[in-house]
């Protein structure tokens, strides 16, 4: 493996590619994950998230490209991919004991510590098969953090969870990141949830990483915009464009990346040209809108 020494970078991939027959499930993905990131990995079903994660964890062989680490050492990775693999008739503690032996973890108190951390300390002899989905996911997390990984990879960890379960998983991830500095890659298509966690985003579509951006860049991108419908859309677009506004339109609905303080000026401009305003309001884009917009526009590579 090629090692690239860099202060803040924990891991990066360059042109990572995985092909099944002649289909590129992961297509030349060059991604950077910095130390301390909670990296939100976004993509619709079949976009290539799980395949990319399986490449990172070396569950499958790459086709071409590289995975590069910040140091010459291998980093300690913990992962929950496609749900935890646990023994159905064993308790939480016994499942952890089994994995601790496999991983050669000798620290006596580690299992109790981890059970406490994920809120499963009081599950006693209850077997895994009788756990709720939320408990199962939390045990998966416990297994993944047993060896104190510096990089934690979670594939759709909140899929199918109820609101309470989602909050519990979110709090565990935030504590891991803030108290222990664990870098986290979390894939999800529940974008509202990711936006409560992520410090950085990567958006994958048809195997290609179409965009990488930080949470504050996303905030900038999702800034307030104005939505407008008028008696004559084409003339409105022409007038606004001639006045220097950046305009987008879809089915007679015109959108401008402007703050609501520009509304009086715009309405006067249109009024002076004899255009009637039918609808006029400002709104803020969220991660979901941004994502759909980006995918539908078919953005180029990051």
Ligand X SMILES: Nc1ncnc2c1ncn2[C@@H]1O[C@H](COP(=O)(O)OP(=O)(O)OP(=O)(O)O)[C@@H](O)[C@H]1O
Q: Considering the complex, state which of residue 20 and residue 281 has its C-beta at the smaller distance from ligand X.
A: 20
Q: Are 173 and 38 in contact (CB under 8 A)?
A: yes
Could you give the CA distance from residue 4 to residue 281 in angstroms, rounded to a whole number?
Answer: 49
User: Is residue 173 near ligand X by the rule CB under 6 A?
Assistant: no
State in angstroms the smallest separation of the CB of 66 from ligand X: 19
Q: Cβ 75 to ligand X, closest distance in Å?
A: 22
Is position 157 an interface residue for ligand X (rule: CB under 6 A)?
no
- Using an 8 Å Cβ cutoff, are 235 and 247 in contact? no
- The only residue of 51, 123, 182, 236 in contact with ligand X, by rule CB under 6 A: 51
Of the pair 46, 88, the CB lying nearest ligand X is at 46
Name the minimum Å distance from CB 12 to ligand X.
20
The yes or no reply on residue 211 touching ligand X (CB under 6 A) is no
CB of 49 vs ligand X, minimal distance in Å: 4
The pattern of x and - marking residues 13 through 32 that bind ligand X according to CB under 6 A reads -------x----x-------
* Exposure class string for 65-90: b at 16+ Cβ within 10 A, else e: bebbbbeeeeeebbbbbeebebeeeb
Residue 271 sits in the site that holds ligand X (CB under 6 A): no
Instruction: With contacts defined by CB under 6 A, name the span among 8-16, 41-49, 113-121, 130-138 that binds ligand X.
Output: 41-49
Task: Determine the distance from the C-alpha atom of residue 243 to the mean position of all C-alpha atoms in its chain, rounded to a whole number.
Answer: 38
Encoded tokens for 47: 């976009």
CA-CA distance, 144 to 126, in Å (whole number)?
20
Among 42, 49, 151, 161, binds ligand X (CB under 6 A): 49
Contact 178, 128 (CB under 8 A): no
- Smaller CB separation from ligand X, 77 or 100: 77
**Nearest residue (CB) to ligand X, 25 versus 115:** 25
Spatial separation of the C-alpha atoms in residues 59 and 55, rounded to whole Å:
6
- Is residue 46 at the binding interface for ligand X, with CB under 6 A as the rule? yes
Cβ-count burial 128-161 (b if 16+ within 10 Å, e if not): beebeebbbbbbbbbbbbbbebebbbbbbbbeeb
- Give how many residues touch ligand X by CB under 6 A: 10
Least CB distance to ligand X at residue 41 (A): 9
Using the minimum distance from each CB to ligand X, give the nearer residue, 49 or 138. 49
CB of 153 to ligand X, least distance (A): 12
Task: Report the SS3 class of residue 18.
Answer: strand
Pick the binder of ligand X from 16, 27, 48, 151 (CB under 6 A): 48
7-15, 48-56, 173-181, 258-266 -> range binding ligand X (CB under 6 A): 48-56
Cβ atoms of 42 and 52 within 8 Å: the answer is: no
Q: Is residue 47 close enough to count as binding ligand X by CB under 6 A?
A: yes
In the chain, alpha helices (H): 49-56, 92-102, 110-117, 133-145, 163-180, 191-194, 215-221, 233-242, 263-272, 287-297
Residues that bind ligand X (CB under 6 A): 20, 25, 43, 45-51
């Amino acid at each position: 493996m090629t090692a690239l020494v860099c202060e803040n970078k924990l891991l990066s991939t360059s042109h990572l590619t995985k092909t099944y027959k002649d289909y590129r499930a992961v297509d030349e993905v060059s991604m950077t994950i910095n130390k301390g990131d909670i990296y939100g990995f976004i993509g619709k079903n079949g976009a290539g998230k799980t395949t990319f994660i399986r490449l990172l964890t070396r569950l499958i062989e790459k086709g071409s490209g590289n995975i590069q680490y910040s140091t010459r050492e291998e980093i300690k990775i913990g992962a929950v991919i496609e749900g935890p693999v646990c023994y159905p008739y064993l308790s939480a503690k016994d499942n952890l004991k089994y994995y601790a032996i496999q991983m050669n973890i000798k620290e006596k108190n580690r299992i109790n510590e981890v059970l406490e951390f994920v809120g499963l300390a009081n599950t006693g002899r209850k077997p895994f098969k009788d756990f709720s989905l939320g408990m199962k996911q939390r045990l998966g997390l416990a297994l993944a953090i047993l060896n104190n990984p510096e990089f934690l990879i979670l594939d759709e960890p909140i899929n199918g969870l109820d609101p309470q379960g989602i909050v519990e998983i979110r709090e565990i991830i935030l504590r891991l990141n803030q108290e222990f500095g664990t870098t986290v890659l979390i894939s999800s298509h529940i974008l509202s949830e990711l936006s409560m966690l992520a410090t950085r985003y990567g958006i994958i579509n048809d195997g290609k990483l179409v965009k990488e951006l930080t949470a504050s860049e996303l905030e900038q991108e999702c800034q307030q915009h104005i939505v407008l419908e008028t008696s004559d859309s084409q003339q409105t677009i022409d007038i606004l464009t001639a006045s220097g506004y950046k305009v987008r339109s879809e089915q007679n609905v015109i959108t401008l990346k402007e703050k609501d303080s520009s509304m009086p000026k715009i309405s006067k401009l249109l009024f002076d040209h004899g255009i009637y305003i039918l609808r006029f309001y400002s709104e803020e884009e969220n991660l979901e809108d941004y994502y759909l917009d980006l995918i539908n526009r078919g953005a180029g590579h990051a």
